[in-house]
Amino acid sequence: MAHLRRQQAQWQLEAGVFTHAREGIMITDPQGRIVDVNAAFERLTGYTRQELVGHSPRLLDSGQHPPAYFEHQWQELKQTGLWQGEVWDRHKGGSLIATQQTISAVRDAAGRVTHFISLMSDITRLKDQERRLEHTAHYDALTGLPNRVLLADRLRQALALAPRRGLRVAVVYLDLDGFKAVNDAHGHEVGDRLLVGLANRMHQALREGDTLARLGGDEFVAVLQDLPDAHACEPLLQRLLWAASLPYDVGELTLQVSASLGVTLYPQDEEVDSDQLLRQADQAMYAAKLQGKNRYVVFDAVRDRALRGHIASVEGMRQALGRHEMVLHYQPQVNLRTGEVVGLEALVRWQHPERGLLAPAEFLPAVHDHPLECSLGQWVLESVVAQRAAWHRQGVRLPISVNISARHLQQPGFIDDLQNLLGQYPDLNPADLVLEVLESSALEDLLGVSRIMADGERRGFCFALDDFGTGYSTLTYLKRLPVAKLKIDQSFVRNLLEDPDDLAILQGVIGLAQAFGREVVAEGVETEAHGSALLWLGCDVAQGYGIAHPMPAEAVAGWTREWRAPRAWWTKDAGPSGFTA
């Protein structure tokens, strides 16, 4: 009797829990038919107990889950007797309900399943809050467009899909022209309303699969997917420009701005990531601003690679200077008629740690008209002056020619600095240096260069016009430049034996120099015949591989002692074979 009373009390307790529990409780038989539900379940679903008992829980199906979701649920229940998870159900009134469910199997003494009990909690408000937070995290609060976070995700997806599909992606960086003036004139509230209107209009100008995101302020980024070729984005770009530039009414105001677009395409010849693409598009957008706004500019990847290569080359040279990798070699200049060594030209080389000894043509173009050109030039001057002083003590007293860029020459105080440098070596004087300036660069600023040369000439420095004949000198220019020497470019000397035009040019240049009282130095003497021809033309001083290759400083003294000119150059009135005087 006592046992029966305890059993009845247990049943009453369980019935009370079932009836008064705040969670919805549903009991089903092993076939999944509803046996009973509590009052909380009725409130949660909108159905009465009578409407539910005997039916399948599929009555609540919202259509939000694929069939595989419930197949997995039943599979887990059969294997473990327990399943927990979130389920979207449909209220009797048609609205969606998010529930957290725990389903447990009830077994008899023999271990057979007799019932399933499902406990359900309403988490709809929690899911709505999560959705709002997710929207805030991924969408711009003002315009409702994707923000930076969602843009990054969509851009990554687009880049991953493009190569598989054999299609292209365009990344468009868009900045509104004139928007700041609207904000300043009419206030931020008007500016915000204009932004919202233009954002909607530009979004509608794109295709369904494209993305328009707002980065902040008046900056937007569009991701245009599935483009068959580079030109396929052009109609979309025109539509964006049109959408941004149409007048827009804000209250009684009619406002109008425009847009500058920078465009870059993917894939490229080099591997690039999403951040690099955004930087490229941003760079192109600024180019569009500079070109007049209200237009688009496509990023030039080839030009950018060249620019990055140039920057890397300049930085490599900067480091090379700091690591003392630059060296000077010296090429002798001789009097062809007497055989006397009359000078040296200092030529810079780069002792590259990986590529070996590099000639000037392999690195100097990178620093043309760059500030580093002046730093390198100053190092050359200081090194040459120190070497000239050392040779002076050894009895080698030859003038040294140094190439000076026009940019270096026109640095404020160049002549003063050079004079101070020479002043550190009492045995030297300005005549020990010959400053060679390229003809073409000298003529870019004839007046400025001629003034500096004149100042240097008054102080005893000697100037030469290098690569003479390759520029566009006139008699007037030659008269105005205070140069003592003209160096004939090697391109004329190299072919003078085969090309009558080069021979004629040489005759003219040498005659012109003699008429103006300028000494002529010929470059590019590679054979004995070249020297004979130059003598016949009236040019006595020359340099070139036929005389000597540029050599390290330590080899100069020995070479000058051993040098002997070819016998043919000593013969009076000698001329090259086939020439007639």
User: In this predicted model, what pLDDT tens digit does every residue of 315-359 receive, in sequence order?
Assistant: 999 999 999 999 999 999 999 999 999 999 999 999 999 999 999
Predicted local confidence at residue 580, as pLDDT: 42
Of 80, 106, 128, the last residue of a domain is 128
Predicted local confidence at residue 11, as pLDDT: 46
Domain shared by 164 and 292, yes or no: yes
Q: Around 71, how many Cα atoms within 13 Å sit in the side-chain half-sphere?
A: 3
Predicted local confidence at residue 6, as pLDDT: 53
Q: DSSP for 257-290?
A: -EEEEEEEEES-SS---HHHHHHHHHHHHHHHHH
| Strand partners for 106 | 115
Domain shared by 546 and 472, yes or no: yes
Question: In this structure, is residue 567 part of a structural domain?
Answer: no
Rg (CA), the chain: 44
Domain shared by 158 and 119, yes or no: no
Question: In this structure, is residue 426 part of a structural domain?
Answer: yes
Question: In this structure, is residue 549 part of a structural domain?
Answer: yes
Please state, in angstroms and rounded to a whole number, the distance separating the CA atoms of residues 524 and 331: 11
Of 82, 107, 128, the last residue of a domain is 128
pLDDT at 444 over 70: no
| Letter string b/e over residues 336-358, b meaning 16 or more CB atoms within 10 A of that residue's CB | bbeeebbbbbbbbbbeeeeeeeb
Domain shared by 468 and 504, yes or no: yes
Domain shared by 121 and 189, yes or no: no
Predicted local confidence at residue 568, as pLDDT: 81
What is the overall mean pLDDT for the chain?
88
For 161, the 3-state DSSP assignment is helix
More confident residue, 11 or 190: 190
Please state, in angstroms and rounded to a whole number, the distance separating the CA atoms of residues 486 and 511: 12
Number of domains in the chain: 3
Domain shared by 390 and 526, yes or no: yes
pLDDT band at 477 (very low <50, low <70, confident <90, very high): low
Of 276, 299, 322, the last residue of a domain is 299
Question: In this structure, is residue 536 part of a structural domain?
Answer: yes
Taking CA atoms, 241 is separated from 174, 259, 527, in Å, by 9, 6, 65
Cα–Cα–Cα angle for 363, 365, 371, nearest 5°? 95
The CATH number of whichever domain residue 154 belongs to comes to 3.30.70.270
Question: In this structure, is residue 185 part of a structural domain?
Answer: yes
User: Beta strand 519-522 with 485-488: parallel, antiparallel or unpaired?
Assistant: parallel
Domain shared by 113 and 151, yes or no: no
Domain shared by 506 and 411, yes or no: yes
The CATH number of whichever domain residue 543 belongs to comes to 3.20.20.450
Question: In this structure, is residue 580 part of a structural domain?
Answer: no
The CATH number of whichever domain residue 65 belongs to comes to 3.30.450.20
Give pLDDT tens digits for 420-433.
999 999 889 998 89
Give pLDDT tens digits for 153-209.
999 999 999 999 999 999 999 999 999 999 999 999 999 999 999 999 999 999 999
More confident residue, 12 or 186: 186
Question: In this structure, is residue 33 part of a structural domain?
Answer: yes
Give pLDDT tens digits for 193-220.
999 999 999 999 999 999 999 999 999 9
Please state, in angstroms and rounded to a whole number, the distance separating the CA atoms of residues 67 and 82: 19
Question: In this structure, is residue 581 part of a structural domain?
Answer: no
pLDDT at 476 over 80: no
Domain shared by 500 and 375, yes or no: yes
Structural domain including 39 reads 12-128
Domain shared by 200 and 124, yes or no: no
* Predicted TM-score (pTM) of this structure: 0.60
Domain shared by 192 and 144, yes or no: yes
**Contact status, residue 71 vs residue 97, Cβ threshold 8 Å:** no
Domain shared by 265 and 371, yes or no: no
